């Protein structure tokens, strides 16, 4: 059975995936203004998700006793865990960098009433590459890092971790306050 930390983060992955699908559909039209709004929201939501992992999940996993990472029972060795976490952090850097470039380009297109359809399609293709990498990244998180807390921590530590992550996921920039 999945623990609440795993469920919360996987649900957020699903929600982000739906947002990415909606963004792609608007770029395909191309509805640049709406696509830019969705891109901004996706970028912010992904940043919040990443922040929750970087501030709470990854440090908790890194600070767990190395001796607990036995390489058995669903846990990797400590070295394997550190390698996976480094790869996830690297992916996060790529996502944020690529989305920042896309925000800048799409923002410039909004001011241009005659946005170049070819340029929009090029950015849509870049978005597809980001989506592919994000899908592989999410699978690694869901099948590895998200399963470890329940194997490493007692119930009080899991509950505290869940509360901190849930708080971060709700902490969107003020421009998205409803």
What per-residue confidence (pLDDT) applies to 124?
94
pTM over 0.85: yes
Give me 99's structure tokens: 């989305």
Distance, in Å, from the CA atom of 140 to the CA atom of 134, rounded to the nearest integer, reads 10
What per-residue confidence (pLDDT) applies to 1?
66
> pLDDT, tens digit, for every residue of 130-178?
999 999 999 999 999 999 999 999 999 999 999 999 999 999 999 887 6
CA-based angle 102:103:108, to the nearest 5?
A: 100
> Which regions in the chain score pLDDT beneath 70?
1, 112-115, 178
51 to 105, 112, 117, 145: CA distances (angstroms): 24, 33, 34, 15
What per-residue confidence (pLDDT) applies to 167?
97
């Amino acid at each position: 059975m999945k623990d609440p930390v795993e469920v919360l983060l996987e649900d957020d992955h699903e929600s982000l995936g739906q947002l990415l699908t909606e963004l792609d559909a608007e770029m395909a039209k191309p509805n640049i203004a709406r696509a830019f709004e969705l891109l901004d929201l996706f970028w912010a939501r992904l940043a919040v998700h990443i922040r929750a992992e970087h501030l709470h999940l990854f440090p908790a996993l890194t600070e767990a006793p190395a001796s607990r990472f036995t390489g058995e029972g669903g846990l990797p060795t400590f070295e394997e865990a550190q390698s996976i976490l480094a790869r996830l952090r690297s992916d996060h850097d790529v996502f944020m960098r690529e989305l920042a470039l896309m925000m800048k380009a799409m923002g410039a297109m909004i001011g241009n009433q005659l946005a170049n359809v070819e340029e929009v399609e090029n950015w849509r293709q870049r978005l597809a590459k980001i989506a592919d990498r994000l899908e592989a990244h999410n699978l690694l998180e869901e099948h590895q890092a998200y399963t470890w807390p329940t194997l490493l921590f007692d119930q009080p530590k899991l509950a505290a971790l869940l509360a901190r992550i849930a708080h971060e996921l709700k902490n969107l920039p003020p421009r998205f306050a409803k």
